Amino acid sequence: MSHVVLVLVETVNDYLPLLEHEGFELILAPTMASRAAAIAEHGARIDAVLTRGPLGLFAEEMAALPLLKIICVIGAGYEQVDLQAASNRGITVTNGAGANASSVADHAMALLLSLVRGIPQADAGIRRGEWNKLRQPSVAAKRLGIIGLGAVGLAIAKRAANGFDMSISYHNRQPRPDTPYTYCASVAELAAAVDFLIVATPGGSDTRHLVDAPVLDALGPHGYLINIARGSVIDTDALIAALASARIAGAGLDVFDHEPQVPDALKTLGNVVMTPHMGGQSPEAAQGTVQLVVNNLLAYFSGQPVLTPVRLPTPV
């Protein structure tokens, strides 16, 4: 019997044939309207869902999918998936941890270099007919702090240490003694010890506003902040205030609280570089994430352990 996968994502269509090649029937529903319609029409047949962290899957949707057995999340974050509802139903949840780490790490470094070296401002000046040679700080041999030393954080650290001779410090839920990097017990301690601070931790309630006004003050007027994780990890109001008053030197942002809406206050600041949540978007990452979904589904439906399980709360 063919397994039926409800596909809620909209960014990996070129690689969905990987699923079809393995015999999975796909129902594409990339908008909220088509999603509701698909669940109403096909809910009795769907036994797997493919989604992203911001798109999630809600308890009432799970309730309308009586055969649902597994939810596969593309990317590391799963903040809008109702894990409690999944746990209560005995539904397995997997994520894409590590599949797009190289792409996200590349993007983090690109944001950092663009921001610190003033690339957008220099480009805009030339297009206006100007020739202003900006005197911007060097990136080499600086101190880099990483919040979240998972697959993405480790990939960033490797690029920074090996390519730019940076010293690496980090804050994580637990120290990583398997790495040569310096552990800081708090985010504020980390911010105070570095020149550049990169946020690479998952979103969700546990990390909400982990970077707040005191952390930004600890980073200081010569410090730069990069966020390629989730907008919720940073207190956006505090960030805007710190940028506007030059309490930090600048910020590079790929993620925002209410995507695709971006606060107008950020758009008016000259010390911000922004991209539209594209850090994990590359052909290599898309293929890798879909292949991981394929591998997880094949493992699950053959009775084997899934490769990247998400830890679920205790059923209630």
**Amino acid at position 58, single letter:** F
All residue ranges of the chain with pLDDT < 70 are 1
Assess whether 213 and 267 both reside in one domain: yes
**What was the pLDDT predicted at 257?**
95
**What was the pLDDT predicted at 11?**
81
**What was the pLDDT predicted at 264?**
97
3-state secondary structure 214-278: HHHHHHCCCCEEEECCCHHHECHHHHHHHHHCCCCCEEEECCCCECCECCHHHHCCCCEEECCCC
Assess whether 128 and 250 both reside in one domain: yes
Domain boundaries, position 268: 101-274
Asked whether residue 311 is assigned to any structural domain, the reply reads no
Residue 20 known to be catalytic = no
Assess whether 105 and 240 both reside in one domain: yes
- In the chain, the number of structural domains is 2
**What was the pLDDT predicted at 76?**
82
Assess whether 121 and 178 both reside in one domain: yes
Asked whether residue 307 is assigned to any structural domain, the reply reads no
**What was the pLDDT predicted at 204?**
81
How many angstroms separate the CA atoms of 172 and 147, rounded? 6
For 168, phi then psi, to 5°, come to: -115, 125
Asked whether residue 110 is assigned to any structural domain, the reply reads yes
pTM, two decimals, is 0.89
Question: Which of 52, 107, 159, 230 is the catalytic position?
Answer: 230
**What was the pLDDT predicted at 1?**
57
CA atoms within 13 A on the CB side of 141: 2
Question: Which of 60, 277, 284, 311 is the catalytic position?
Answer: 277
186-196: string of b/e by CB count within 10 Å (b at 16+)? ebbebbbbbbb
Asked whether residue 313 is assigned to any structural domain, the reply reads no
Question: Which of 10, 60, 259, 284 is the catalytic position?
Answer: 259
Picking from 232, 224, 229, the residue whose alpha carbon sits closest to that of residue 252 is 224
For the chain, the residue count is 316
pLDDT tens digit sequence for 7-66: 999 888 899 999 999 999 999 999 999 999 999 999 999 999 999 988 999 999 999 999
Asked whether residue 268 is assigned to any structural domain, the reply reads yes
How many angstroms separate the CA atoms of 310 and 233, rounded? 20
Residue 42 known to be catalytic = no
